[in-house]
Each structure stands twice: as C-alpha cells, then as structure tokens.
Structure 1
C-alpha cells in the first residue's frame, strides 16, 4: 500500500507540474507564454500543445500525460490545457482517497459505464441545445479566445465562418467539407507577412504560392491537365542504350525531340487544354512551345497540392504511353479562371476549379505583421475546423443499459409506484421525464465548504528529480491499458454496483423515453465558462448517492470534485471569489430545476467536453496500469531470430 501511495504521489506531482505550467494560459483571460526557438526567435503563445511540447519533460509518466493531451487535441482540436488541469485534479483526488491497485482501476471503469454515462444521459442531456443553424461565430469566438488575443479572435472567427460557409453553401455538406478543410488547410491558405490582419480575405479558387513558368491569358472556361513527369520526348527507354556516333546524329536527335514536343503541344491544344499543372520541372523546349501555342504552365507543385487538385476535380495525372502522343486525353479538369496574383511582392497563381464534390474551392489570404504570428493564426484556424467537425459527432449509450431501458419501458404498463406527499414531482421542460425532489437533494454545508474552499496546493509545481538517464515506458502497458479502456462495457452484469433507474413517484413511461439511441446528439452545445463541468459535477454526485459499491461511490465523488478544477482555473484570473459566486448561482438553478442563463460569451461543443473527461479517465487508468519503467542508455537494437546450425 505504501508503494502504491508513493507512486500516486509521484504521478500527481508530475501532473501538477504540467498543470501549473499551462493553467495560467487557460481561458479567455489567460496570459501568454514566451517560447524561445533554437534559432533564437521568441514566439508568444497560449497554445496548449505548444506549451506542453516546449517543456521537453523527461519523466516517462509525464511524457505519457503530454502525449495523451496532444492526442486529444489532435482528435478534437481542443482541450490540451484543460486535460492536464483535470488530470492533476483527478490524481490528487485518488491520492487523497488512498485507493490503489487493480481495485481502483476496476472502479474507474465501472464509474465510466455505470455513473458517468447515466449522469450525462439523464442529467446533462436536458440542458443541451442545438447549435444555431448556419451561425458559427458563437462557437468560434470563445474557442479562439483561449488561443489568441482579444484583438485577433473576432476577425479570425469571421474569416473561419466565412470560409466554411463559402466552401459548403449547403449545410448538409458541412461535415464532409470541414474534414477537407482540416486536412488541406495548409494548401487552402496563403500567409502574407507585413500586412494587418484586417487585410485578410477569402478568395474563390485556390492560390498556388509560385509563379507561372509560362503564362498565356485565356478568356472563358478552359481545360487543365495534371502531369507528374517530364513531357519532353525521350530517345531511350529503361534498359536501352542510345549511342550517337556523329554530330549529325546528335543534331538529328535534337530535331526529332523538338518535333515530337511540338506535336504533343498541338495535341494538348486540340483538346482545349490551356493549363498544365506539373509536379516536376519541365524542359526549356517544352516551355517554349507552351508559350508558342498559348498553354500556361505551372511547375514544381507539391504532392499535397497535386492531391488537393485531384480531390477537387476528380482527375488523375496524365501519363504518356511511349511515343503515342496522339492518345486521347480524358482526365482533364474544368477551370473557370487562371490568372497571376500579386501578394505584396510575391507573384502567385490564382486558379478557379469546377468541383465535382460538395466542396466549393476557396482560399484564405491570411495577413499578419510577421511570419510567426501568421503561423499561430493558421494553426488556430486549422484546429478550429477540427473542432467544428465534432459538432456532427454523437455519443451513443451502451447496448447493455439501452436494453435495460427498453425492458423497463415494455414493463411500464404493469408498474404501480406508490406516491408520497413529501415527494413533489417536477416537470422537466417539454419532456415526460420526472424526478423526485429527493433525487435533487442539496449538498450538505460541509460538502459545499470543501468545494468552495479547496486545498490551494492542488496545482503547485513540485520540484522534480532530474533524470540523468533517458527512460522508456514499456510499450506493452499501452496495449493492455488501451484494451481495458476500450472494453469497459464488458462484464457489467458481474459488478455489484447497482444504479437505481428511478425512484418512487417517478413515471415509468417517462423513463422509457430517457433511453434514446444517444445521449449527446449531433450539434449539442452549452454556454462556455464552466457550465459543462458544473452540470456533470452535480449529476455525478446525485448518482453517486445511489451506488451501493463503496469504491465506485468514492471515485464518483472524487471525479465530481475534480471537474470543478477547470472552472476554478478559468475564474482564477477573474474578480475575487468569482468561482464561488458562479458555482452557487449555477447550483441554485439546478436545485430549482431552472434553465441555465444565456451566456453572451459564446457556446462550446458538448461532444468535445465529454471526450475530454473520457480521455482523462482513460489516461489515469493507463498510468495506474504501468508496472515497470525501464531506463535505457542507447537505442534498442532489432534482434532477428536465426536458427543455429547446431539446432536439431
């Protein structure tokens, strides 16, 4: 037990150190950190991923924490700073509870399946509301407020929303388009240093950050072809040697190449091809005939740019079949315009494509004072598109308790529940669900004092021992813990924790409606500022009272208290006692079953917040599953099994 306690202390200290490094930059009131690059350049940032990666932590468990926080950020586009703050609070609660070992890991899994999901489904869900259709700024502004300064977020939120609406005029196409914007944003924007952010704009088409190798103005719609090889005819083939015996033969060879190049260019022009996009540099003779026959050429496109154009137009690169220059060209893209574009002092290529998908090509011209600021803005916008994708995600309930709910609904006709005069039923908005007043029992005064006057040492940065030897976490623990976390629903019937589905005075018919296919539906949002954590905190505590298994009940109260660490950090830089006031007002509304107030600061995705909680709990389970850390002084060598000659 002592060993387990010291291990939990070490984990909490490492998590608290990470949380202490980032909590000052959390939320819209957070400050900026100044990162120094190896080149000596100073970069101010509030980005959680950059802050965590810049720490270059050495302890293996801390590296696991950073990796899981960055993984959540890559998946949802949000939550790296909140992840470590919540993780430190959960580990602190576990240490205070004094549990450990396999029983604690099992209690964490049981809590997720039996308490967390039910609290979200039957408590949190009633306060969720759909995102305003077509209105993205209320989501984008608070999201960018945690990463950028107040003078930048509004303009960038407008640009992000405008680009989304222009690229996906049809709302039904938004999920597909947002995925493309997230994957290809590097190719769908052009950074322009030296201009104010107000000069940024969204342009139709795409901008290639290079000049024409040959430019021939053309009016009206034209055709374009993609190539990935040099179109200059060759005199040899692979494995064939070409021998020139005299100057006359050499000149004849050059003449043949010239004629074949001209013939190929005539063939391209006869197919109405006036634009050639090449991933390689073409020969001078080809450029000469391109200008002669009015074909514009853009060279040295990256593989990502070629892939984007192929995805937009649905065409594949053109490939010649030997000397058959007259082969029919079927893979051509429709181009609405093709013109040079001057961005400050750099000439670029501006092309408009006719898309074969729901994505309507547009490009963002992103202006900023210096390159470093443009990089931060571009990274924030790309992750904003990733965050917006989560609006179309749902969280489905487990099959085990869905079936349980269906069976209870079918048996509702035979249920007769005695009512009590002291149990007043409350109608929840426009649903048939009813809960008893005892189910919404208030927290005790002692409990509230513990919540409102927390131990101030939960986010202190503790001195860590320096590790002189590089260390490596045994990777087999990742596999084991991942499997355990992904299959937390298995064996629910074998546990002794029982969640009472409803109490006396509740309607059986209403309970059946509470078990829908998902408890966080697509587009579900909440006001920003800690309301999600307060709601989940309140209903987890409510369900913890019904849990008959002591370990799960302890974990429930511990997680409920840990959830408050995020709004505490958010209000840490606000007015004095800001969190206390916010907490008491929110809890009072919940006790009276009143709706949450409308928050003018904006909205946030309920799916992202729920995934944050799940990711933290699974990271804790993973950390508690590590049994051995091996220190190594050199890279591992690959060992191949070879049968010995002496083996019989």
Structure 2
C-alpha cells in the first residue's frame, strides 16, 4: 500500500524556506559564490541561482517542483532565479498570515487547518487572476513612468568606444553590467558587458528588429562561442568569422592570396548507385576466379566513380569540404591528391550556422552538387585556442546576400567551471535582453490612465524610430494593445519593488474608494472578506529590497524614502544623465537644487554623509528590465497556486516514466500545462 503524506501550508513554507536559505548566500550585488563538491571530487563554484538549485539533491517532490518552475522561468528570461525563491517564500508567508487571521466555523484544530488551507487556495487563485488581469496596468501606471527606454542604436554604438571611457554610462551597458555583477562579480562585469555590446554591434542587422537579431544569436550560441580554460576572463575576445570546433583531416589549403570555395556535405561521398548484378557478375564455371575478377572490377569502378566526384568539385573550384560524417579513407586519399581539404564530423549546429552565413545549401548526394551548394570564403586556416586546434573561416562579402559580418566569441576562464559559468551568463544575458525588448501588453484602460497621469515617461535614450514602433495584440480582441515601447528599464537597488509597492497600495485605496462611493463590492477583492490582494502582494515585494540592504536596515529605509520623495517631486525618470552633473549629496550642494535625488531633505538627518552618498549612487549604479520583473511576478504567482493545490504526496517505490521535455516560449504556459496534466 502506498504511503500517503498529507500536505499543509506550513509544509510548503518549510520546504521553500530551505531553498531560500541556500540562495540567500549568493543573493544581491554583495552575495558570494556557492561551492559544491561532487562524489567524484569535482568542485563547482557558481553564483547562478539556477545552477545552484539544479545541483541540489532534492528528495521532497515539492522542492523538485519549485526548482522545475525556477528552471522554466530562467530558461525564458535568463534572470531572476534567486529572486523567484525569495519572493515565493515571502508570498507564502503573507498568505499564511492572512489565512490564519480568517474566522473559522469551528475551533477544532482540524477545522481550523482545513479552513486555512481553503482560504490559502482562494487567495492564491485570486492573486494569480489579479496578476494576469490588473498587474500589467498597475506597472504601466505606477512604475513605467519613472523608468526609461533603451535604444538599440545606442547599445550597439557603444562598441566603438573603449570600455574605460564614458561609454559605461550608456543604458544598454548599464543594464548588462548590473546583470553580470550579480552573476560574475564586480571584477569582470564591466569588461564582459562591453564585450557583449561589441558582439551585438557586429551582429546587428540593418533592417531587423532587436529581438530578431538577439534570437538569432541565442539560437546559434553553441556554434558562436568557444570555451577556453586556463586563462583569465579578461582574455576573452571576439574573432572575425566562424570557428568550427574540428581539426583538418587533410592538409590545410593555402589561401593567403586568393579566396577559396567550400562545399557542405551531410552524407558520404560515395560512388553512383548502379545495378549490383551487372557489376558483380560472376564468370562461367570458374566461380571463385570470376568472383575475384568482379571484386577487382567493382573496386576499380568505385575509384573511377569517386574520381568523377572529385573532378566535379574541382570544376566548381571547391578546395574545402565540410562533412557532417566521417568519410572513407579512399575519399581522404583522393581529396589529398587533388589538394582538397576535408573537415569531418562537424556538428549540426555549426553546419547550420555556416549555411546561413555563407548562403550555400548543404547537399547529401555528392552527384547532385551544383553552384548553389558552394560558398566563397575569404580564408580558411587553423587556429589554436587553448590546448585545441580548430578551423577558422571568414566569409566573403557579397552584394547579393545582405548578411552581417560575423564574429565568434572566445570565452576564457581560469578553470572549466568558471569558463562554463561565463558562457551561461552570456547566454542568459541574451535571453534577458530578448525579454526586455518585448513590449508589455495591457488593456486599453491603461492608455487613459497613463494619459491623465501627471508623470509621463521620458526615455533614457530616445529612439529615433520610437514613433514607428507597433505592437501586435495578445489576442484578437480590441481591448488588448501595447501601450509602451520595448526596452523599458528601471534603476536597480529595489527601485522596482518600492515603486510597485507604492502603486499597489494606491491601487487598493482607489478600489476601496470606488466601492464606498458606488456601494458596490468588487468580487475579486471583497466578496469573501479577505485582505486586499494588492496589499498582500505589496507586502511580499518588500522582501527583495530588505534582503538587498540586509546588512544595513538604515539604508533600506532611506532608499525607500528617496524613491517615494522622488516620485512626489519629479516627473522625469531616474536618468543616468544626472550622474556627472549631480553626483553630490544634499550636504554638498550648499542649497542648490541640482538633481532629483539631491533634494530629498527629509531623509538627510537620519543617515550619515557617507551612507547618503552610497545610497544616492544605488539608484544610478545600474538598470534592470521591467518586463523581466513583470514575468517573474507572474511566474511566482503561478507557482504559488500550483503548490497550494497539492493535498498529499504518494510515495511510490517504482520509478516514474518522465515525458520528454517540450520547448516552450513561456514559463507560465509550461506550468499551466503541468497543472492540467
């Protein structure tokens, strides 16, 4: 008989609290790295929340369920895994506190527990509905006007300026620097962010939107980067062309003075298929001798047939063969005699990228090769990266094909683990940028609210094509439309949480006022006498900045006062343009009103001068994505509902058959599918 374990809210909270204790060690800009030691003695050092959580040996199914939700969310947005756990634990605590305050019909322990579980489920369902229906409007009205909008031209132009100059103040690099700071530490974040901007500038397509270019790099990232261990991270660089992670099977062609042509084969170079009976014909009564003559005749025909294939390739000018499979010794010998180079066992990802960049279509049948299967290369030569020798090719510019000038990324690290950590951070940064440049879709009512709002958003760097930006509705209904440009960002340091906390409280007050005036009840908030949903979510959000400033509670309070006083007194965003002109504290301004953060006089007396200067710089130390934050909250609300739906755990003694994981574009959709199953 299966063992049944009843689940209660306190069990869920205990499980999530254990995961929270693990990720808190590396949370925030001052967080450290977590060291894991495997049974084999291998050591892993990481600050990535997803890597840390997936490396744990989790026995409880609830813990595995939470980690799976975190993995799905991080796979889409590339960020927020540690904040996911922190916000999840905080939200479960406020739900538990709200459910315990509800009056129960019976005073017995079982009845109170059942009533509390039912209340927690209702709260979770209503919170998710609130997040899907109203949270986007609240963010668009209460958070977005105090942020800014990234410019794709500005971000890709940063690569023209050295990393040590004022280009560090650009918005895209500030967004990337803040991201890499939490993943790789303070030492290398500026260097890696500048290298990423340089990579984006080379791959920028003239007429393509940013999301399309970023998705192209993300999809082909395994073929675009080369990990090299044994060198410091500062040795990472870009290399023009493509690096194919195989070595030459025949001598490398000499291409110093003229371009070469290459062909891509996905199959074997083999003789033309003829009637086997006609070739292996046995002779008369001398069966054994006739068989030997037929084998010799077949071998000679095979050699002549392969020579015809090589001759056809020579007539097309081909001097380099890229093969997805290992060719026969006869093919290699004939190619060597023809001074033709062969590269075998090239991965599918690299062949696909080569075909896209060169415009040459791969061919499987060597007898069907034509000019459309031949690519022109500027050079093809060996390259030594670390302890391995690879093939380095560069593509010939063609007016017929409007392609970019490709560059490959070499990622260095002291050890294999550090190199892999940098590579994962690079790819997660690409996914974060993709999510950032996706427009937030809200209801048409938000347009009216934002139009009448006194604080209108001003872009950090205004895009000259901003007026031409259009958005596709989320469905066929006309009530859904895009009300803000892609690339919305907000300063780091808890600014998003402070702004949304204030906006949620204002939203709850507005609903209560409307309900009192109209003498009507809002079904989603007051029909059951439960606490306001916006109040619950607002309380949970403050756990993030509290943890950021956990080493100094005074800094938490003062930063909150700075943000709120800034909202009340200024209508323009927290723009980094104030950094150079208004980087003095209020005590240094001598009565001058220079910057928005310098006029926060009510909070000056409660902090020391040094603390105030550091706190003012917090709001200008980096940027984070509003879209990533929005999707993070929705994913956490979905996870809360899924966790509180579970009633019991069945301990099975036979292994479960796992279904193959399907790729999805939304962590929220994945979790909903899991719930339906």
> What's the TM-score, normalizing by structure 2?
0.72
The reply to whether residue 613 of structure 1 matches residue 630 of structure 2 is: no
Render the CA deviation track for 1:586-638: whole Å, top value 9, x for unaligned: 22222445556444321111111111111111211222223443321103589
Q: 2:131 aligns with which of 112, 123, 127?
A: 112
Question: Which residue in the other structure is 1:89 paired with?
Answer: 90
Q: How do residues 103-502 of structure 1 correspond to structure 2 at under 5 angstroms? A: 103-113=122-132, 115-132=134-151, 133-135=153-155, 136-168=172-204, 170=206, 172-214=208-250, 215-218=252-255, 219-233=257-271, 242=280, 245-320=290-365, 325=367, 328-354=370-396, 356=401, 358-398=403-443, 401=445, 427-429=454-456
Question: Which residue in the other structure is 1:435 paired with?
Answer: none
Q: 2:545 aligns with which of 562, 567, 571?
A: 567
The reply to whether residue 625 of structure 1 matches residue 625 of structure 2 is: no
Contact map agreement 2:145 2:573 (CA 8 A) in 1: no
Please state how far the C-alpha of 1:315 moved relative to its aligned partner: 3.5
Please state how far the C-alpha of 1:115 moved relative to its aligned partner: 4.3
Distance in 1 between residues matched to 2:316 and 2:626, nearest whole Å: 53
Distance in 1 between residues matched to 2:505 and 2:368, nearest whole Å: 76
Contact map agreement 2:281 2:291 (CA 8 A) in 1: no
Please state how far the C-alpha of 1:584 moved relative to its aligned partner: 2.0
Please state how far the C-alpha of 1:104 moved relative to its aligned partner: 2.1
The reply to whether residue 604 of structure 1 matches residue 624 of structure 2 is: yes
Question: Which residue in the other structure is 1:446 paired with?
Answer: none
CA 1:352–1:239 in structure 2 vs 1: closer, same or farther (change >3 Å)? farther
Contact map agreement 1:97 1:554 (CA 8 A) in 2: no
Question: Which residue in the other structure is 2:27 paired with?
Answer: 26
Question: Which residue in the other structure is 1:65 paired with?
Answer: 66
CA 1:327–1:228 in structure 2 vs 1: closer, same or farther (change >3 Å)? closer
Q: Secondary structure at the match of 2:40?
A: coil
Please state how far the C-alpha of 1:396 moved relative to its aligned partner: 0.8
For structure 1, the 5+ residue unaligned runs are: 413-424, 432-487, 490-514, 639-648
Distance in 2 between residues matched to 1:516 and 1:217, nearest whole Å: 60
Q: Secondary structure at the match of 1:546?
A: helix
Q: Secondary structure at the match of 2:490?
A: strand
Render the CA deviation track for 1:200-249: whole Å, top value 9, x for unaligned: 21011111122111222134333221112221327777999957744443
Contact map agreement 2:78 2:429 (CA 8 A) in 1: yes
Please state how far the C-alpha of 1:6 moved relative to its aligned partner: 7.3
Contact map agreement 1:86 1:566 (CA 8 A) in 2: yes
Q: Secondary structure at the match of 1:151?
A: coil
Question: Which residue in the other structure is 2:587 paired with?
Answer: none
CA 1:30–1:226 in structure 2 vs 1: closer, same or farther (change >3 Å)? same
Please state how far the C-alpha of 1:306 moved relative to its aligned partner: 1.9
CA 1:301–1:243 in structure 2 vs 1: closer, same or farther (change >3 Å)? farther
Q: Secondary structure at the match of 2:231?
A: coil
Please state how far the C-alpha of 1:145 moved relative to its aligned partner: 0.8
Question: Which residue in the other structure is 2:487 paired with?
Answer: 523
For structure 2, the 5+ residue unaligned runs are: 1-5, 100-115, 156-171, 283-289, 459-473, 513-524, 577-618, 659-677
Contact map agreement 1:193 1:374 (CA 8 A) in 2: yes
Distance in 1 between residues matched to 2:564 and 2:281, nearest whole Å: 89
CA 1:390–1:272 in structure 2 vs 1: closer, same or farther (change >3 Å)? same
Render the CA deviation track for 1:560-590: whole Å, top value 9, x for unaligned: 01111111111224x4522122122222222
CA 1:376–1:426 in structure 2 vs 1: closer, same or farther (change >3 Å)? closer
Question: Which residue in the other structure is 1:463 paired with?
Answer: none
Q: Secondary structure at the match of 1:146?
A: helix
Q: Secondary structure at the match of 2:326?
A: coil
Please state how far the C-alpha of 1:314 moved relative to its aligned partner: 4.0
Question: Which residue in the other structure is 2:591 paired with?
Answer: none
Question: Which residue in the other structure is 1:540 paired with?
Answer: 504
CA 1:125–1:596 in structure 2 vs 1: closer, same or farther (change >3 Å)? closer
